[in-house]
Structure 1
Amino acid sequence: MILPDVLKPLDAALDATDRTQVLAAAWETFDVAEQVADAVAFEDSSDELQALVAAQASSAGQILLPLPESGRPIDVPAPAQGAEGLAPYVSLLRHAQVALERMAAEPEVEEDGRAVLQEAADKAAIAAEALAAVREQ
């Protein structure tokens, strides 16, 4: 699985120590995943329902997070054919899930914030599972 170059900074930002940077990267990850799910939804070999679940979970996760203060939309490259073409995006969603769970576990996070971060992490997990299943056939 090779992550497209345009997504490497996003992947690295999910490991940042700056909470704002991690939240922005998670927000962008959800945006990227939704774009990819939308792009593959109507391919002949795709499971449209799983693509829809991935897109909806990504949108729901994104809504839970604050809008990034800066940056520009990422021009998402078309995924390669087959299940392996979606693997980098599934991996990115799983990385966002781990980053959000890590933030939710920090002791200084208030209970309300913890719940929101965990819910966003859960949405990332759902989106990853669904996106992985889009081309399993």
Structure 2
Amino acid sequence: MSVTWSSAVRYSECDDQRVVFNAHYLVWADEASNAWWPSVGLRWDPDGVCGVQPLVKASNLEWSSSAVWGDTVDVVCDLAELGRTSLTLVFEVRVGDRLCCTVRSTYVATRDGVPVPWPDEVRAAVS
């Protein structure tokens, strides 16, 4: 199941050429991930999800074009892979039909900072 998070590109997110600074794509992916959890029926709170804290293990960004000041970005988030202790979400950052960036982030389920298997409730919700 995919979810879309949208935002106007703010002036503070841009460099001197009014092009979005690269780190903001990760912020937008994080915002979209916060919308994805409830879209699959899981409650996200300060303690995590179902008793585990998902932590980012790795992120990869691949740019196709630039978002600029004045654009509205739509960030489509979907599950790419579910492992024993990790899951990977893919985020497509778009302006209209134009793909700007694809972000792949892998999250590891942790408890007290130690990787643990995803709880059955999470597996059932995302499968």
Q: Normalising by structure 2, what TM-score?
A: 0.32
TM-score (structure 1 length as normaliser): 0.31
The answer to which structure has the higher helix fraction is: 1
More strand as a share of residues:
2
